[in-house]
């Protein structure tokens, strides 16, 4: 049953762009049918015929009314608003830079004309014709450059105007329209915003033309015939542009991968607070929102990441899965720097604000100086070092089967822990409790040496990464289901905190920042990075 209509005064309606009134309630493929369903796998509204013809294998289909429930307070609309604000801010800064470039271009035009006039005074009448030619050339090149910049400026202004209009529309729609119409509007704005996003990214990669004057070498030889007064060239120069916060290409590829896999990929079908055989989606406690996302090829072509962690100053440290390299970059992948190692890195953990630790197989542990961004000393460890964690100035390392050892920064063994199974990944909380997984269960070894399983109520498969937060709650990345689970220390029922709807696809490694409360997800089989933080 459709919700009751809301009657709005005409002045309110006139404040919304006319494009929203053109959105049809009917399916574009089947005009006689209404859009009554929403496919979460393909992120689109569909009709009953669409479900039968092209969505028969999709598992995450629900009614559009149910999907729209809570949209005003949901992450989709808040995320879209953040993206539009970011696009608006970036567009304004880019406009300012282009305007400054046009001002400099005008100054160059005047400067070069004055230079030509100086030469003209020396050459008098003999150079009058050449003066006219060079003036014409300058003006022609200036107009060519200015036309190019004006075109870019006009495009950005149009995008900025559209974004501002959409923001205003969304504000009024949130207050005055029905949830189903608001949901349709959000999807419409999201499509338009994606196109604007692509246009701005294209402009960011383009060069900007300028003019340059090359005076004649015969200027000082007045007694000789000069073929010209110089040349005017257009040079394409790169201008540093502000970065967009979230790489939509990375998110698009993740969604596309899920869609193309079809029924062969387990897709989360959970709805808010729905029971999933002992699990539920935790949507109302410490919500996590995507703040940064980028593809690893932004750092190096073909790069696959083995692991990573947060480091101070809003940076992350990532390990190359197939080469002897680490990469340091900002949370959005910018300002990257490569660190060359003697070994291929396995796993990475933060030791203190000045040092990180990298497990390097047979060669123990490599210390990384986070100030100089250079390899420091090596810590010798017997066996093959893989999983690694640190807390309270101590280091836990998996170096043998069914074994964890606790060492200090010099490699001196403090204790040896025989585990119930072979640890695949490990992490430690601030109290020194160590958590580890074999891919199906999660165990904890407390500081007093006692061991227990902490996920008995969950049937997990394909665990690829774990991380513990500042409260002691444990995040678990389940690669096969595209879910991030949370195991609570206070005996609260464990639940799913993120799914494919949040951009999670085949996650394999996690890291938590206790200072900023951010969660890093190594996503999409090692080729993309997502960063989330509480709303």
Report the CATH number at residue 348: 2.120.10.30
- How buried is 296 (Cβ within 10 angstroms: 0-12 exposed, 13-18 middle, 19+ buried)? buried
Q: Are residues 363 and 261 in the same domain?
A: yes
Q: How many helices (H) and strands (E) in the chain? A: 7, 29
pLDDT, one tens digit per residue, over 103-130 is 889 898 888 888 888 877 776 666 667 7
Please check whether residue 216 is in contact with residue 130, taking contact to mean a CB–CB distance below 8 angstroms: no
Confidence of residue 426 (pLDDT cuts 50, 70, 90): very high
Residue 450 has pLDDT above 50, yes or no: yes
Beta strands, E only, 253-402 = 288-295, 305-311, 315-320, 325-330, 337-340, 348-352, 355-359, 365-369, 374-379, 388-391, 394-400
Count of domains forming the chain: 3
Question: Is 156 a domain residue?
Answer: yes
CA distance 157 to 88: 10
Residue 321 has φ and ψ, to the nearest 5°, of -75, -20
Q: To which residue do tokens 């070069």 refer?
A: 112
Q: To which residue do tokens 């009314």 refer?
A: 65
Q: Are residues 146 and 277 in the same domain?
A: no
Q: Are residues 208 and 105 in the same domain?
A: yes
Q: Are residues 158 and 259 in the same domain?
A: no
Question: Is 462 a domain residue?
Answer: yes
Q: Are residues 44 and 148 in the same domain?
A: no
Question: Is 16 a domain residue?
Answer: no
pLDDT, one tens digit per residue, over 37-74 is 988 777 789 999 999 888 888 877 888 888 888 777 76
Q: Are residues 353 and 428 in the same domain?
A: yes
Q: Are residues 197 and 255 in the same domain?
A: no
CA distance 177 to 189: 15
Q: Are residues 263 and 182 in the same domain?
A: no
Phi-psi region of 338 (alpha: psi -120 to 50; beta: other; left: phi over 0): beta
Q: Are residues 174 and 305 in the same domain?
A: no
Domain hosting 50: range is 26-69
| Distance set, CA 194 to CA 23, 25, 532 (Å) | 18, 22, 20
Confidence of residue 427 (pLDDT cuts 50, 70, 90): very high
**H helix or E strand, kind and range, residue 136:** helix 128-176
Q: Are residues 218 and 285 in the same domain?
A: no
Question: Is 505 a domain residue?
Answer: yes
Question: Is 304 a domain residue?
Answer: yes
Q: Are residues 190 and 305 in the same domain?
A: no
Name the DSSP class of 281: B
Token reading at 33? 């049918």
> What does the pLDDT read at residue 268?
42
Residue 431 has pLDDT above 50, yes or no: yes
Q: Are residues 92 and 144 in the same domain?
A: yes
Please check whether residue 268 is in contact with residue 496, taking contact to mean a CB–CB distance below 8 angstroms: yes
> What does the pLDDT read at residue 277?
43
Q: What is the arithmetic mean of pLDDT over 438-455?
A: 87
How much of the chain, in percent, has pLDDT values that exceed 70? Answer: 82
CA distance 459 to 68: 30
Confidence of residue 330 (pLDDT cuts 50, 70, 90): very high
Beta bridge partners of 317: 309, 328
Domain stops at, among 237, 262, 289: 237
Highest mean pLDDT among 178-187, 440-449, 513-522: 513-522
Domain stops at, among 206, 237, 268: 237
């Amino acid at each position: 049953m459709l919700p009751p209509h809301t009657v709005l005064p005409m002045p309110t309606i006139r404040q919304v762009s006319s494009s929203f009134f053109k959105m049809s309630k009917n399916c574009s493929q089947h005009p006689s049918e209404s859009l009554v369903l929403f496919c979460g796998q393909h992120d689109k509204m569909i009709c009953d015929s669409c479900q039968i013809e092209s969505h028969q294998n999709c598992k995450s289909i629900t009614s559009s009314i149910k999907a729209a429930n809570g949209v005003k307070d949901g992450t989709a609309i808040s995320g879209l608003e953040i993206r539009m604000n970011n696009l608006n801010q970036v567009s304004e800064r880019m406009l300012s830079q282009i305007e400054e470039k046009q001002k400099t271009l005008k100054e160059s035009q005047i400067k070069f004309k004055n230079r030509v006039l100086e030469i003209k005074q020396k050459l008098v009448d003999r150079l009058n014709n050449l003066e006219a030619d060079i003036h014409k050339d300058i003006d022609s090149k200036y107009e060519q450059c200015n036309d190019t910049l004006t075109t870019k400026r006009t495009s950005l202004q149009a995008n900025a105007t559209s974004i501002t209009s959409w923001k205003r529309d969304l504000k009024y729609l949130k207050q005055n329209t029905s949830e189903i119409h608001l949901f349709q509007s959000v999807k419409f704005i999201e499509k338009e915003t994606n196109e604007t996003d692509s246009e701005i990214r294209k402009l960011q990669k383009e060069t900007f033309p300028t003019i340059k004057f090359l005076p004649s070498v015969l200027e000082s030889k007045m007694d000789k015939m000069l073929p010209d007064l110089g040349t005017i060239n257009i040079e394409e120069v790169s201008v540093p542009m502000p970065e967009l916060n979230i790489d939509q290409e990375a998110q698009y590829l993740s969604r596309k991968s899920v869609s193309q896999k079809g029924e062969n990929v387990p897709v989360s079908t959970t709805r808010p607070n729905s029971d999933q055989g002992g699990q539920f989606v935790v949507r109302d406690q410490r919500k996590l929102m995507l703040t940064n996302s980028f593809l690893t090829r932004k750092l190096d072509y073909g790069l696959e990441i083995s692991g990573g962690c947060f480091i101070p100053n809003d940076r992350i440290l990532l390990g190359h899965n197939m080469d002897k390299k680490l990469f340091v970059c900002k949370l959005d992948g910018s300002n990257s720097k490569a660190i060359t190692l003697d070994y291929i890195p396995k796993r990475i953990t933060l030791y203190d604000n000045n040092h990180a630790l990298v497990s390097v197989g047979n060669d123990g542990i490599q210390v990384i100086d986070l100030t100089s961004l250079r390899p420091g000393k090596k810590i010798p460890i017997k066996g093959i070092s893989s999983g690694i964690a640190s807390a309270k100035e101590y280091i836990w390392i998996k170096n043998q089967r069914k074994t964890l050892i606790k060492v200090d920064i010099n490699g001196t063994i403090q204790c040896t822990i025989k585990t119930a199974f072979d640890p695949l990944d490990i992490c430690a909380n601030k109290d020194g409790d160590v958590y580890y997984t074999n891919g199906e269960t999660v165990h904890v070894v407390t500081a007093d040496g006692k061991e227990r399983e902490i996920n008995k109520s969950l049937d997990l498969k394909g665990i690829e990464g774990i991380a513990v937060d500042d409260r002691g709650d444990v995040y678990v990345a389940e690669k096969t289901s595209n879910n991030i689970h949370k195991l609570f220390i206070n005996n609260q029922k464990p639940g799913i905190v993120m799914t494919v709807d949040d951009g999670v696809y085949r996650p394999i490694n996690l890291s938590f920042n206790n200072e900023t409360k951010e969660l890093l997800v190594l996503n999409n089989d090692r080729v993309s990075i997502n960063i989330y933080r509480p709303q």
